[in-house]
Amino acid sequence: MKSLIRVTIAGLTLATTFSLAHAQTVTFANFQQVGADKSFQFLNSGATSTFVTKDTITSNTTIPVNFTFLVDNGSGSMNTPLPANLTITSVVSAPATFGATVSQKLQSVQMTFVGTGAVTGNLLTIFGSTGTIGGVLGEATAGLEETNNGGSQIVNYSSAYIDFSGSTQRNYSVALNNIDAPGLANGGNGYLASLQSNATGQFAANGIVPEPSTVFLLGMGALGLCTCRRKKNQHC
């Protein structure tokens, strides 16, 4: 029993040291759109404008993507594109700022990736208290991004496969392109003009570990080892 406690303490110390040593964020997942429908849309309706996913033909608000975990996630799917459904919802928080670039502030940004293949369930859910769509006016490209600063900008993640409870820094960036002419523009009512676009994106955090079941399996392994050693000593 003493051995088990020692092993557990050693494991926990290692995990803690690892987490603290990796204060810098790592990009743990990314996604690529499947097909070329311009499903990433900013819909200008003044103060109730939204940025959402919406299929231009079917009006479905859930669209197919390939989602990839870039870290061990307990599902054995690291670096393997997984089919998933993505839903994005958000609303504007204030009128946009215009210069050579445009900055359109959003709030309540939620992105949900649900696995539709061998790996199912909540691959990743992002909740951002804020977000910003921005880019150079007139260009066919833009981006949606946010960095958690622990204050006015909160980015939270949840997943059935990754435990984010030890994470203190989180950021995401979505690249939008193929915005129709005239490109990124002033909507004339203080907000960004409506747009339809394609997208890829990625997500980063520090202090991430595979979700608890993996830790549980590691614990079981340690227990097994201790039992083996104990039995061996008894034979001696």
Which residues contribute to the site for other proteins (CB under 8 A)? 24-28, 30-36, 38, 66, 68, 70-71, 79, 81, 97-103, 132, 134-143, 145-147, 149, 169, 171-183, 198-204
Measured from the CB of residue 205, what is the shortest distance to other proteins in angstroms?
A: 9
CB nearer to other proteins: pick between 11 and 95: 95
Q: Residue with structure tokens 């996604």? A: 31
CB nearer to other proteins: pick between 142 and 226: 142
Give the type of residue at 96.
A
CB nearer to other proteins: pick between 30 and 49: 30
At 176, which helix (H) or strand (E)? strand 170-177
User: Please, are residues 213 and 187 in contact by the beta-carbon 8 Å criterion?
Assistant: no
Measured from the CB of residue 80, what is the shortest distance to other proteins in angstroms?
A: 9
Measured from the CB of residue 104, what is the shortest distance to other proteins in angstroms?
A: 10
Measured from the CB of residue 61, what is the shortest distance to other proteins in angstroms?
A: 19
CB nearer to other proteins: pick between 119 and 226: 119
Closest by CA position to 111, among listed 162, 40, 180: 40
Measured from the CB of residue 158, what is the shortest distance to other proteins in angstroms?
A: 18
User: What is the distance between the alpha carbons of residues 150 and 135, in angstroms, rounded to a whole number?
Assistant: 25
Give the type of residue at 156.
N
Judged by DSSP in three states, 215 sits in helix
Q: Residue with structure tokens 């743990």? A: 28
CB nearer to other proteins: pick between 133 and 160: 133
CB nearer to other proteins: pick between 181 and 236: 181
Closest by CA position to 172, among listed 28, 33, 73: 28
Closest by CA position to 159, among listed 109, 111, 201, 117: 111
Measured from the CB of residue 139, what is the shortest distance to other proteins in angstroms?
A: 4
Burial of residue 194, with CB atoms counted within 10 A of its CB: 0-12 exposed, 13-18 middle, 19 or more buried: middle
